[in-house]
Amino acid sequence: MLGENLKRARRNAGLTQDDVAKYLNIIRQTYSAYETGRSTPNPETLNMLACIFEVSVDWLLGNTSDPTPHDKKEKAPSAETEREKDLKYISEKIRELEINDLIKVDDYIDLLIHRHNK
């Protein structure tokens, strides 16, 4: 699995075995042995290969079908970020209200807080 994934990643990156070997400062035959399964790269080299190909080590090893490196994955927005967006939206709407309506909104907020704290 590792050898097949190395070959696939190298080809997707448009690199030759010589190119990769130069990046790793090894001879082409050593890198070729990784792709054929005759040899296994050490953990440091495996990490370097993942960086060169911009894939995850887990994908190279066949532990996942998602090649995206962990540091490149889109992070889900946190709940606090969503809350901040909601507060900004509400704040913008409140600015448009007349004073009498603002008093009503304030009273309603107090009612909600009181119910919540019961």
- Domain residue limits, the chain: 2-72, 79-116
Provide the pLDDT confidence category of residue 31 given band limits of 50, 70 and 90: very high
pLDDT tens by residue, 37-60: 999 999 999 999 999 998 999 999
| 39-43, 46-50, 69-73, 78-82: segment of lowest average pLDDT | 69-73
User: What is this structure's pTM?
Assistant: 0.59
Alpha-carbon distance 17 to 35, whole Å? 9
Mean pLDDT of 21-36: 95
Give me the percent of the chain exceeding a pLDDT of 70: 90
Per-chain mean pLDDT for the chain: 86
Query: Which token pair is 68?
Result: 């995206």
CATH number of 2-72: 1.10.260.40
